[in-house]
Amino acid sequence: MKKARTAAEWRRSKVTERMVSFSGGAGLMSKLGPLFQMEDGKRERHIPVIDCPDTVAAGKPFVINVTIGKEVNHPNTTEHHIKWIQVFFRPENDKFSYQIAHCDFAAHGDSVVGSGKGPVVTDHRVSVVVSVNGRGRIYALSMCNIHGLWESGKDLEVA
Amino acid sequence: MKKARTAAEWRRSKVTERMVSFSGGAGLMSKLGPLFQMEDGKRERHIPVIDCPDTVAAGKPFVINVTIGKEVNHPNTTEHHIKWIQVFFRPENDKFSYQIAHCDFAAHGDSVVGSGKGPVVTDHRVSVVVSVNGRGRIYALSMCNIHGLWESGKDLEVA
Amino acid sequence: MKKARTAAEWRRSKVTERMVSFSGGAGLMSKLGPLFQMEDGKRERHIPVIDCPDTVAAGKPFVINVTIGKEVNHPNTTEHHIKWIQVFFRPENDKFSYQIAHCDFAAHGDSVVGSGKGPVVTDHRVSVVVSVNGRGRIYALSMCNIHGLWESGKDLEVA
Amino acid sequence: MKKARTAAEWRRSKVTERMVSFSGGAGLMSKLGPLFQMEDGKRERHIPVIDCPDTVAAGKPFVINVTIGKEVNHPNTTEHHIKWIQVFFRPENDKFSYQIAHCDFAAHGDSVVGSGKGPVVTDHRVSVVVSVNGRGRIYALSMCNIHGLWESGKDLEVA
């Protein structure tokens, strides 16, 4: 993997507008990042698990499945549920990141007759289709309404 | 199918807050609904096509695939793309509707080096998983950034 | 206001791809539109009320405030809340509609210590800023988690 | 401020499911966080600037304005625009984070007659209303379609 520029190299560059892509800037560390949880006890049930090929062909669509929970399924009730999954892609040799998709899971059994008695429940999983032109890393970010933000990632190779 | 109350019956009812679910109220017709296009020439490419079983078991999860375009694929560029798909469910004997999911397709080849030269493109299709407890109708609503809103529907039976 | 083309005129036109913008097509009426409720009893509390100038200058940004409820505030709890507001614009002489914004209200007091005991609640109102180049109609669509979809509209003049 | 548990204290606790809220887990650092940029050259135009009171009353609604750009306004075209702003809240003595809102800016002048010639443009700013019951930190995350993810934060005191 090509070595990323250091903050010093960026400052010496001729780029008029310094778009620093790592750690937010010289010395500035993201404070939002640490809020993303990545370990969920022995029986994982909050991690947004990314399921897709390890290697894909450039420009050819492939499916990314993201599911919440590995060994244990996450609850899905009015009071406790997964609100959404967002998927991002960071190409290896790109200063920037791109959002692939954002999927809201909108139904959790809510109803006028009482929580959990509603007519429809949306499961916390989604499949999207994407194509890329180079290797990079896929990120998934999910949100539980009471347990906050959860993150996972998966490297992607392009043949 | 149980007959829906008429506007007159609603007015005579003892319900303090009249939640009228058809046509928005006595005489009030939705003005947003007519903005939803449902026919797209001979070679359909804007309709959000719903693909799911005709009949499902109550409470058992099933997959809903929604794809844009039937005979002809829709373009997917910075200048012309599908922004999102929303999925709704209207149970047969329910006054109200429920949103199942909302999926944004966020990447269309945008890039600092020029439109269409970006590293990632999200296809305009999504698969979600849902369970219902009674028959009804699934609705899909999609948005093209330059051709507006498109709608489709599919009846769902519960065995 | 210029008269919209009839279905017959569209068929005689030289447009290769017939993008029919009214009522979804010759004879096809939106089935999703009737699900949008517009009247909410005497003490309105579900209607997404649009507050913005009646007349604006072309190309000049103005604020659109959308609030749920008029005389009575809508509840905001884990079990009963407004999920989101979407805002659309239909220019008068345009075949198509455009989405202005979509705002999710994500916090309703949900918490590990019990519903309603959470540390944050998002109110069901939003302000966005937009500019238009011609007259048309603004639409707001909102969703209550147990009472479904609600619609309102407001004509906009451009001086 | 109550001292947060260390990773060691969590392991010794009787909590069956170890919900570790800092750095994702013992030794696990977020890899998505470093993608969030926080410094944008001398003339800032990507940072989502949070404007709200420094101190608020517990349980009383207050306005959070988030605007992109400080000294220089960010472009707003089909090819280059801000896609969305997300707002989060991390209470001081809470293991978890909560999303306040997610607002998509959907119109950027896209049109069938050409990019930038469309009838409506949504500005990259939003105002939401929220109430909290204790001090914490507000986070804003925004996305530029070609320059990626940007973050900012602001401490909030409760009187």
pLDDT digit string (tens) for D102-111? 999 999 999 9
Segment A113-141 mean pLDDT: 96
Cβ proximity of D37 and A21 under 8 Å: yes
Nearest residue, CB atoms, C41 vs list B17, B30, B90: B17
Better-scored residue on pLDDT, A15 or B125: B125
In the structure, what pLDDT confidence band is assigned to residue C155 with cuts at 50, 70 and 90? very high
| Alpha-carbon gap, residue D144 to D151, rounded angstroms | 11
Give tens-digit pLDDT for C94-136: 989 999 999 999 999 999 999 999 999 999 999 999 999 999 9
Residue B141 CA from chain centroid, whole number: 3
Q: How many CB atoms lie within 10 A of CB B113?
A: 10
pLDDT at A43: 66
Better-scored residue on pLDDT, D34 or A15: D34
pLDDT, mean over chain C = 84
Better-scored residue on pLDDT, A105 or B26: A105
ipTM of this complex prediction, to 2 decimal places: 0.83
SS3 C126: strand
Check CB contact under 8 Å for D148 and A97: yes
- Check whether domain A36-158 has CATH 3.40.190.10, yes or no: no
Give tens-digit pLDDT for A15-74: 333 333 333 344 578 888 888 888 766 667 899 999 999 999 999 999 999 999 877 889
Nearest CA in chain C to D65: C127
Residues A106-145 as b or e (16 or more Cβ within 10 Å = b): bbbbbbbeebeebbbbbbbbbbbbbbbbebbbbbbbbbbb
Residue D23 CA from chain centroid, whole number: 18
Instruction: State how far residue D36 is from chain A, nearest Cα, in angstroms.
Output: 6
Segment B62-85 mean pLDDT: 93
Nearest to D101, CA basis, from D41, D52, D54: D52
Q: Is the pLDDT of residue B156 over 70?
A: yes
Cβ proximity of D96 and D4 under 8 Å: no
Q: Is the pLDDT of residue C6 over 60?
A: no
Chains A–B, number of C-beta pairs less than 8 Å apart:
118
Instruction: State how far residue B4 is from chain D, nearest Cα, in angstroms.
Output: 37
pLDDT at A40: 66
In the structure, what pLDDT confidence band is assigned to residue C145 with cuts at 50, 70 and 90? very high
Q: What amino acid is encoded at D100 in this protein?
A: I
Residue with tokens 């309404």: A145
Segment B129-151 mean pLDDT: 97
Instruction: State how far residue B145 is from chain D, nearest Cα, in angstroms.
Output: 6
In the structure, what pLDDT confidence band is assigned to residue C35 with cuts at 50, 70 and 90? confident
pLDDT at C37: 87
pLDDT, mean over chain B = 84
Segment C22-48 mean pLDDT: 72
Q: Is the pLDDT of residue C78 over 90?
A: yes
Looking at the DSSP bridge assignments, the partners of residue D156 are D136
In the structure, what pLDDT confidence band is assigned to residue D29 with cuts at 50, 70 and 90? confident
In the structure, what pLDDT confidence band is assigned to residue B5 with cuts at 50, 70 and 90? very low
| Alpha-carbon gap, residue D82 to B51, rounded angstroms | 33
pLDDT at C72: 82
Segment B1-19 mean pLDDT: 40
pLDDT at A30: 87
Give tens-digit pLDDT for D57-97: 999 999 999 999 877 889 999 999 999 999 999 999 898 99
SS3 A117: coil
Nearest CA in chain D to B110: D146
Chain C CB contacts of A111 under 8 Å are 146
pLDDT at B31: 85
pLDDT at B73: 87
What is the domain partition of chain D in residue ranges? 1-35, 36-158
Nearest to C153, CA basis, from C30, C38, C19, C17: C38
User: CB-based contacts of D20: which residues, under 8 Å, 6+ apart?
Assistant: A37, A39, D7, D10, D26
Chains A–C, number of C-beta pairs less than 8 Å apart:
27
pTM, to two decimals? 0.85
Chain B CB contacts of A131 under 8 Å are 120-121, 123
pLDDT at D39: 75
Nearest CA in chain B to D113: B146
| Alpha-carbon gap, residue A126 to B87, rounded angstroms | 13
